[in-house]
Amino acid sequence: MSEFVLRRATIADVKPMQRLLSKAAQQGLLLPRSLSSLYTGIRELYVMSSPDGAEVAGCCALKIFWDDIAEIRSLVVKEELRGHGIGFRLVSACLDEARDYGIAKVFSLTYQNVFFGRLGFKEIEKEILPNKIFTDCIHCAKYPDDCDEIAMLMELA
């Protein structure tokens, strides 16, 4: 959508992003993120916002795990704006950044496997992502027995 601009997130975006993420988490679309994790991860985040920055339409993050693998996480778009290419633009920005860093593989743990499949991601077993499991998943309330997210991977190299 041309009325929204893609940019790096700022501190002022954290609370609006957290509201979007919390609402989507309540709908079962993704796992929630705390304000603390958004502040500490601000450098990983992109937003689509109105040109004046007053409205955050969506956000997405690229978290680098190792020299060859990164994760697309915290992808959310305002409910009334879904289906207009905002999510695609956010993920594309993260993929471009991964390529710039020379990252060979990008994954996502998601409930939105159809969306990621359309972008070229393939479903994989979560067990091939030990860095993710031992860094983040181990702290999740759903780990290990109740995890119902789908692991998706895109090879960039």
Q: What is the CATH number of the domain that holds 150?
A: 3.40.630.30
* Ramachandran assignment for 53, one of left (phi > 0), alpha (psi -120 to 50 degrees), beta (any other): left
Q: Would you say the pTM of this structure is higher than 0.85?
A: yes
Task: Kindly report the number of other CB atoms within 10 A of residue 99's CB atom.
Answer: 13
Q: Is 92 exposed, middle or buried (0-12, 13-18, 19+ CB in 10 A)?
A: middle
Mean pLDDT of 99-127: 94
| CA atoms of 75 and 156, how far apart (whole Å) | 19
Mean pLDDT of 122-137: 73
Higher pLDDT, 131 or 116: 116
Which amino acid, one-letter code, is at 92?
A: S
Q: What pLDDT score was predicted for residue 1? A: 47
Q: What pLDDT score was predicted for residue 31? A: 78
Q: What pLDDT score was predicted for residue 143? A: 56
| CA atoms of 29 and 32, how far apart (whole Å) | 9
**What total of structural domains would you count in the chain?**
1
Lowest mean pLDDT among 44-48, 61-65, 71-75, 130-134: 130-134
84 phi, psi to nearest 5 deg: -115, 15
pLDDT category at 140 given cuts 50, 70, 90 is low
| CA atoms of 61 and 15, how far apart (whole Å) | 15
Mean pLDDT of all residues belonging to the chain? 89
Q: What pLDDT score was predicted for residue 145? A: 65
pLDDT category at 148 given cuts 50, 70, 90 is confident
Tokens of 26: 């309540």
> Is the per-residue pLDDT at 138 higher than 90?
no
pLDDT in tens, 10-53: 999 999 999 999 999 899 888 788 999 999 999 999 999 999 98
Domain that holds residue 73: 5-155
Q: What pLDDT score was predicted for residue 134? A: 53
Q: Which of 89, 75, 71, 73 is nearest to 1 (CA)?
A: 89
